């Protein structure tokens, strides 16, 4: 579903069209849930957040004049996920959290699957990778959303993919 079709669905949703709402949900649930999960690392919490995103969307859908509805909705999901995570005591300092990793990267000889590999990325890079690959957002949109320069986004993305490749290859690349 591109931005134009999504916009049409949102217009229908503004008139209370529940089928349009279900279409949007079915289209976005998987990438959005994946991105939220990459931030929270908690399935149950991620489902609550996804629920909240769509409840908010139904209650007050964005105006049809919005230029990039897809990016808007992912931003909404990301913001809610970050808000929830920040409430957790171990995530009180978000800036440092974005640089932390969930798994140490000290053994290139250990083969990992992609879920493990993703956890070795700093959360900021994990979000960039997930927003681009799972969310289908452009680097420019991610740059706007995360308020960091485009070059930095591209740089971090390449670094992340390189790291993931190396891990998935067991360090042989």
Partner 1 sequence: MKKIIAFVIALMCILSLSITVLATDSSSNSEFVVQGSSLNHVTYENIVALYEHWETNGYPDYVGFVYSTDGSSNNLTVLLVEDDGTAENKIRSMLISDAGLSFGSAKYSYNELLAIADEISSEYLEKNNLFYGLGVGWGGAGDGAPGFGNSGKEPRVVVGVDKSILTEYTKKFEKLYGDRVVVFESEAFVREDLRDVTKDKNTGLSWLLIPMMLLVVAGIILFSIRTRLIPAMQTTKGTIITQSVPVSRKETIAAIKNSEVEPSDKVFNSILRRISENDQ
Residue ranges binding partner 1 (CB under 8 A): 22, 25, 29-31, 33-34, 37, 43, 46-47, 50-51, 54-55, 58-59, 108-116, 118, 129-130, 133-134, 138-140, 150-151, 154-155, 157-159, 161-166, 168-173
**Is 88 or 172 the residue whose CB approaches partner 1 more closely?**
172
**Is 93 or 110 the residue whose CB approaches partner 1 more closely?**
110
Buried b (16+ CB within 10 A) or exposed e, 24-35: beeebeebbbeb
Number of helices followed by number of strands (H, E) in the chain: 9, 0
For the CB of residue 48, give the shortest distance to partner 1 in the complex, in Å.
9
Torsion of CA 127, 39, 135, 63, to 10 degrees: -110
For the CB of residue 68, give the shortest distance to partner 1 in the complex, in Å.
14
For the CB of residue 74, give the shortest distance to partner 1 in the complex, in Å.
14
**Is 76 or 133 the residue whose CB approaches partner 1 more closely?**
133
| CA–CA–CA angle 157, 120, 109 (5° rounding) | 110
> Whose CA is closest to 106, among 163, 154, 153?
163
């Amino acid at each position: 579903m591109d931005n134009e079709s999504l916009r049409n669905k949102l217009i229908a949703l503004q008139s209370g069209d529940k089928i349009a709402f279900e279409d949007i949900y079915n289209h976005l649930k998987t990438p959005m849930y994946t991105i939220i999960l990459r931030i929270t690392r908690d399935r149950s919490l991620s489902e609550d957040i996804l629920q909240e995103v769509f409840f908010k969307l139904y209650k007050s859908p964005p105006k049809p004049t919005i230029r990039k509805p897809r990016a808007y909705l992912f931003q909404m999901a990301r913001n809610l996920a970050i808000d929830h995570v920040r409430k957790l005591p171990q995530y009180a300092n978000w800036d440092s959290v974005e640089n932390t990793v969930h798994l140490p990267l000290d053994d290139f000889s250990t083969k990992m699957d992609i879920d493990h590999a993703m956890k070795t990325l700093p959360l900021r890079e994990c979000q960039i990778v997930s927003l681009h690959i799972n969310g289908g957002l452009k680097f420019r949109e991610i740059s706007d959303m995360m308020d960091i320069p485009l070059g930095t986004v591209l740089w971090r993305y390449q670094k992340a993919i390189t790291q993931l490749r190396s891990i998935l290859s067991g360090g042989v690349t």
